[in-house]
Chain A
Amino acid sequence: MSQRQVLQVFEQYQRARTQFVQAVAELSARPQNAESLRSAGTWGAVGGRGGLWGPGPQFVGNFFTDGNQEAAAPCDHLGLGVAVKNCRFYKKAAAFVLRAVGKHSPQLAQAVVQCGALESLVICLEDFDPGVKEAAAWALGYIARHNSELSQAVVDAGAVPLLVLCIQEPEIALKRIAASTLSDISKHSPELAQTVVDAGAIAHLAQMILNPDAKLKRQVLSALSQIAKHSVDLAELVVEAEIFPVVLTCLKDSDEYVKKNGATLIREIAKHTPELSQFIVNAGGVAAVIDCIGSCRGTVRLPGIMMLGYVAAHSENLSMAVIVSKGIPPLCTCLVEEQEDHIKAAAAWALGQIGRHTPEHARAVAVANVLPTLLSMYMDTHSSEDLQLKTKRALKNILQKCTYLPALEPLLQDAPPNIMKHIVGQFSKVLPHDSKARRLFVTTGGLKKVQEIKAEPGSLLQEYINTINNCFPEEIVR
């Protein structure tokens, strides 16, 4: 009888304790209570030796998701590595705490690594419960995100093969997190990417592109693009996993970020060599990317635009392929519609790469009536430096090959001298040989404008003007 009463008292105590910790955990979920909690000394009450079980780590985790960093240090000393031996709730909660601590800055992540948490996290990755694996993989991902030393530490702890195993598990959330962690690991350096590839990740990631879950696709595409971006060999390995033409379906997904990551992947592959770009063109990738650009708005377009620029930059045949796939109109609309300067700069750059190869290419670009837009952007004082530089280069490249005079004439009016030089140079090359063009030149008032240009005698511009004047009889020139 008395024993039962005694036990009842103890049970009451335990229950009260649990309730207390639960209540504090709930309170800590709201950031406004953090200050009062800290001043009330809850940390000592809950975080002591015996208190950190059950919902305790969850409270600690909440405490840290708000970014309170002072308590990080004692947290490590609590030996969260003890997480290994406990039940799965404890492991999940402990991994949550480690993630919350490690995500804020590289120094905190370094502190987490130094307290030996990586080994226990990797052991948690081998656990049977998928929730535990997910929590551990998330924590590892956040740690590896900061810089390459931390990633190297994660890889040295032997996490990569286990993550590749996690990717093959049936739970979608676990796959997502594992893919995101692999992406974070491989983004820093080619060696890390090679480690990930050596563990056989590419085949599994390539299979998962077909999965209907949008968030999973985002992470998978991001992981593949981080792998492919480092070198030609890695890009070729990714291509050999037969992602084309499946990846093109991702460009038609309803989720914006899936499209963006898909375009990023194709861009990272296309930028290395002309052969890879050729392969992508043959697979119809250019058309898919152009459609994708047309359908998106905003930053999501940026990787697609850059991809077109890279493909066109490699050779004139590829550039012609881009033109033939009707790539110029979306780029022009991009240039005009977008508000952000960096997207406009990318579009200008891409147009420059398309138009710089031969007069045919320049003509295709000029016909789209994009040169005045470029010029106005170059002259605009509100444009950023980068935008001005890129538009100037694009203009120069296109103008040096442009022989389509109707597109050049509007530029005569307000071009600055460095651009005027090229325009007049082109006129001076074309007019001596083409009588119809000469007639048109006079009738549209181009000759008059050329006369109005002031140039220093002996400069290149003056020579061009003289050449033009020599094409016409004296009376007209005066």
Chain B
Amino acid sequence: MNPAPPSPGRSPGRLRRSAHTGPGAGGGRAAPQAPAGRARKRLGPRQEGGRHHLSPSPAPRRQHRAPSSLTAPRRLPGPSPRGCRCRTRSPRGAGPSRGRPGLPAGGAGWYGPLPWRRRRRAGGGSGGSMAALARLRARLPALREECFRRNRCVDEDRKIKYKAAVKIQSWFRGCRVRAYLRHLNKMVICIQKRWRGYQSRRYFRKIVKIQKRWRGYYVRKYIHNYYALKKYLEAVSVNNEIVRNELQEYAEMNENERKKKDQEKKEKEKKYQARKMHYLLSTEQIAGIYNSPFRKSPDPMELLLRQSKPLSHRQQQVKSPFTDELYDWPTCKRPPTFHAGEPLPPIGRQKPQGPFCDTAEVLRQRYKPLEPTLRVAASIDSPLGKARAEMKREEWRNHIHDNEFLPFSSYHKNEKYDPSIHRSGKYGQETYGIKHFREVQPNKWVTGKDFQTVSPSIVLFEKFGKTYSRCGQIV
């Protein structure tokens, strides 16, 4: 019997799976139905260490990589159908130090003697049925093999699983501790914050008292200063009074000026009227209309008439000089009408004695309005004239000389030709420069020899007389 023992002796498949589910637990044997092509991360040295007893080739190792526990096929309790892989894989005795050799003896990989082995031993001594004993005996070597095999598997996995378990547990403990620390931290913060708040509030109450008083003082003194406001408003009203008085004075002054102007205008008007109607002045014989004999004293108009000088006719003419010009009077709103009518004829009175012309005729001639011709009425500078003047100026500017161009040769018949400066000399044309360039007078030479150069000479001058050809007649 091979009851499924508890965990160490459980089906290797089961063990394998739990080993697989441990984090990074050396990913035990691959499930036989592992989906093909499932790439799994190669684990590190642990894997190596855990599996070094296996064949070194990587490919089978990959096969041995288990898929995640979720996709791993469920393992039924009991021996796996294919048995422990370790038998097919590992050469016997290839793995070092796994306790294989010592196993039967000590049976103690890590866990001590396996219980079913003990049981096994116990079961062999019964005298009950010989057949059973024989059967059992027959199964014994296989059992032994089986035992070894299972132990080996378990032991092999054990280390991995142990390590995996350690890792899991350490991780979990770490989480727990960290959670605990976090919790502690939170508690501490809570306590500290309350304490600090309390402290500061206690302190704050003291500070607030000072600030309260300071702020009240400051606001009352500078911002909402009641007394300053009151003074300001009083100042404003005083200022207003002053301004009102000044404006009143100004208005009165304006009023006075206006009245004065009106008065002056009226007076001027009166005086003008008096001058115009000077003929109403009373004489010694005839009392004027303003000097009625029934009055006690003459009318003021009479006095005015006495004072004023008679208005002469000449002044009448300069009255309106604006009739000719259009829109020159700025405040003229409607255009001036052109006076079409004639001036009224004078009131009929006795003709003056003598060979005088008809008065109406004379006046008409005298006051005949100016009727300028169009040429006069238009501007002095007519555009045509201006354009002509402009053209003339331009031409004068552009001329090189002022001599007129005379087209026919007959105009130039008697002109003497003026040669240019280059060619005109004092007594005719200069020969120097045309006929000869440099003079040579042999009769004036002192010796027949040439100059001897004593000091180094200018190279160019050496060539004088030596480079010319025979035509030059020096060589």
Given contacts A29-B335, A131-B327, A252-B250, A287 and B374 within 8 Å (CB-CB): no
Contacts of B328 in A (CB 8 A): 131
Q: Which of B303-331 contact A (CB under 8 A)?
A: 325-328, 330-331
Q: Is residue B357 contacting chain A, with contact meaning CB distance below 8 A?
A: no
> A320 to B233, Cβ gap below 8 A?
yes
Contacts of B383 in A (CB 8 A): 85-86
Q: Is residue A397 contacting chain B, with contact meaning CB distance below 8 A?
A: no
> B326 to A254, Cβ gap below 8 A?
no
> Bound complex: CA of A89 vs CA of B241, how far in Å?
54
Query: Within the complex, which residue of A55, A89, A172, A284 is in contact with B243, where a contact is CB–CB below 8 Å?
Result: A284
**How would residues 229 to 242 of chain B score, 1 for a CB under 8 Å from any chain A CB and 0 otherwise?**
10011001101111
Query: Within the complex, which residue of B243, B331, B373 is in contact with A288, where a contact is CB–CB below 8 Å?
Result: B243
Q: Is residue B40 contacting chain A, with contact meaning CB distance below 8 A?
A: no
Q: Is residue B464 contacting chain A, with contact meaning CB distance below 8 A?
A: no
Q: Which of A61-92 contact B (CB under 8 A)?
A: 62, 85-89, 92
Q: Which of B11-54 contact A (CB under 8 A)?
A: none
- Nearest Cβ distance between residue B124 and chain A, in whole angstroms? 100
Q: Is residue B247 contacting chain A, with contact meaning CB distance below 8 A?
A: yes
Q: Is residue A291 contacting chain B, with contact meaning CB distance below 8 A?
A: yes
Q: Is residue B334 contacting chain A, with contact meaning CB distance below 8 A?
A: yes
Q: Which of A294-342 contact B (CB under 8 A)?
A: 317, 320-321, 324-325
- Nearest Cβ distance between residue B227 and chain A, in whole angstroms? 13
> A288 to B247, Cβ gap below 8 A?
yes
Q: Is residue A281 contacting chain B, with contact meaning CB distance below 8 A?
A: yes
Query: Within the complex, which residue of B244, B247, B248, B326 is in contact with A58, where a contact is CB–CB below 8 Å?
Result: B326
> A131 to B330, Cβ gap below 8 A?
yes
Q: Is residue B424 contacting chain A, with contact meaning CB distance below 8 A?
A: no
Q: Is residue B94 contacting chain A, with contact meaning CB distance below 8 A?
A: no
Q: Is residue B471 contacting chain A, with contact meaning CB distance below 8 A?
A: no
Contacts of A15 in B (CB 8 A): 374
> Bound complex: CA of A93 vs CA of B335, how far in Å?
11
Q: Is residue B285 contacting chain A, with contact meaning CB distance below 8 A?
A: no
* B: number of interface residues (CB 8 Å): 33
> A22 to B237, Cβ gap below 8 A?
no
Q: Is residue B379 contacting chain A, with contact meaning CB distance below 8 A?
A: yes
Q: Which of B321-377 contact A (CB under 8 A)?
A: 325-328, 330-331, 334-335, 337-338, 373-374
B interface majority secondary structure: helix
Across the interface, name the chain A residue whose C-beta is closest to B239.
A284
Q: Is residue B258 contacting chain A, with contact meaning CB distance below 8 A?
A: yes
Q: Is residue B251 contacting chain A, with contact meaning CB distance below 8 A?
A: yes
Query: Within the complex, which residue of B232, B241, B254 is in contact with A252, where a contact is CB–CB below 8 Å?
Result: B254
Of B330, B331, B373, B378, chain A has the most CB atoms within 10 Å of the CB of B330
- Nearest Cβ distance between residue B332 and chain A, in whole angstroms? 10
> A287 to B338, Cβ gap below 8 A?
no
- Nearest Cβ distance between residue A158 and chain B, in whole angstroms? 25
- Nearest Cβ distance between residue A289 and chain B, in whole angstroms? 11
- Nearest Cβ distance between residue B249 and chain A, in whole angstroms? 10
> B240 to A93, Cβ gap below 8 A?
no
- Nearest Cβ distance between residue B282 and chain A, in whole angstroms? 43
Across the interface, name the chain B residue whose C-beta is closest to A14.
B374
> Bound complex: CA of A116 vs CA of B75, how far in Å?
102
A interface majority secondary structure: helix
Across the interface, name the chain A residue whose C-beta is closest to B242.
A284
Contacts of A171 in B (CB 8 A): 330
- Nearest Cβ distance between residue B33 and chain A, in whole angstroms? 78
Given contacts A11-B373, A14-B374, A325 and B236 within 8 Å (CB-CB): yes
> Bound complex: CA of A219 vs CA of B374, how far in Å?
40
> Bound complex: CA of A291 vs CA of B249, how far in Å?
14
Contacts of A92 in B (CB 8 A): 326-327
> Bound complex: CA of A468 vs CA of B373, how far in Å?
99
> A93 to B326, Cβ gap below 8 A?
yes
Size range of the chain A interface in the assembly: 35 or more
Given contacts A131-B330, A245-B243, A282-B239, A25 and B335 within 8 Å (CB-CB): yes
Q: Is residue A156 contacting chain B, with contact meaning CB distance below 8 A?
A: no
> Bound complex: CA of A254 vs CA of B251, how far in Å?
8
Contacts of B378 in A (CB 8 A): 87
Query: Within the complex, which residue of A58, A131, A320 is in contact with B335, where a contact is CB–CB below 8 Å?
Result: A58
Q: Is residue A373 contacting chain B, with contact meaning CB distance below 8 A?
A: no
Contacts of B334 in A (CB 8 A): 29
Q: Is residue A362 contacting chain B, with contact meaning CB distance below 8 A?
A: no
> Bound complex: CA of A87 vs CA of B383, how far in Å?
9
> A249 to B250, Cβ gap below 8 A?
yes
> Bound complex: CA of A151 vs CA of B240, how far in Å?
41
> Bound complex: CA of A26 vs CA of B338, how far in Å?
8
> B236 to A96, Cβ gap below 8 A?
no
> A62 to B335, Cβ gap below 8 A?
yes
- Nearest Cβ distance between residue B327 and chain A, in whole angstroms? 5
Q: Which of A101-156 contact B (CB under 8 A)?
A: 131, 134-135
Contacts of A22 in B (CB 8 A): 338
Of B326, B334, B374, chain A has the most CB atoms within 10 Å of the CB of B326
Contacts of B326 in A (CB 8 A): 55, 58, 89, 92-93
Contacts of A173 in B (CB 8 A): 330-331
> A134 to B335, Cβ gap below 8 A?
no
Contacts of B248 in A (CB 8 A): 252
Query: Within the complex, which residue of A18, A55, A248 is in contact with B374, where a contact is CB–CB below 8 Å?
Result: A18
- Nearest Cβ distance between residue B56 and chain A, in whole angstroms? 89
Contacts of A409 in B (CB 8 A): none
Across the interface, name the chain B residue whose C-beta is closest to A135.
B327
> A324 to B233, Cβ gap below 8 A?
yes
Query: Within the complex, which residue of A29, A248, A286, A317 is in contact with B232, where a contact is CB–CB below 8 Å?
Result: A317
Query: Within the complex, which residue of B233, B255, B373, B379 is in contact with A87, where a contact is CB–CB below 8 Å?
Result: B379
Q: Is residue A253 contacting chain B, with contact meaning CB distance below 8 A?
A: yes
Contacts of A131 in B (CB 8 A): 327-328, 330
> Bound complex: CA of A134 vs CA of B327, how far in Å?
11
Q: Is residue A293 contacting chain B, with contact meaning CB distance below 8 A?
A: no
> B244 to A287, Cβ gap below 8 A?
yes
Q: Is residue A395 contacting chain B, with contact meaning CB distance below 8 A?
A: no
Across the interface, name the chain B residue whose C-beta is closest to A291.
B244
Q: Is residue A251 contacting chain B, with contact meaning CB distance below 8 A?
A: yes
> Bound complex: CA of A88 vs CA of B378, how far in Å?
10
Contacts of A93 in B (CB 8 A): 326-327
The 6 A-B pairs with the shortest beta carbon distances in the complex, nearest first, are A284-B243, A287-B240, A173-B330, A87-B379, A252-B251, A14-B374
Beyond A87-B379, A89-B326, A325-B236, 20 additional pairs, beta carbon < 8 A:
A11-B373, A11-B374, A25-B335, A29-B334, A85-B383, A89-B325, A93-B327, A249-B250, A252-B247, A252-B250, A254-B255, A283-B243, A284-B239, A284-B244, A286-B236, A287-B243, A288-B247, A291-B247, A317-B229, A324-B236
27 A-B pairs with C-beta separation under 8 A: A11-B373, A15-B374, A22-B338, A29-B334, A55-B326, A58-B326, A85-B383, A87-B378, A88-B379, A89-B325, A93-B326, A96-B327, A131-B328, A131-B330, A174-B330, A248-B243, A248-B247, A249-B247, A252-B254, A284-B244, A287-B239, A287-B240, A288-B244, A288-B247, A291-B244, A324-B233, A325-B237
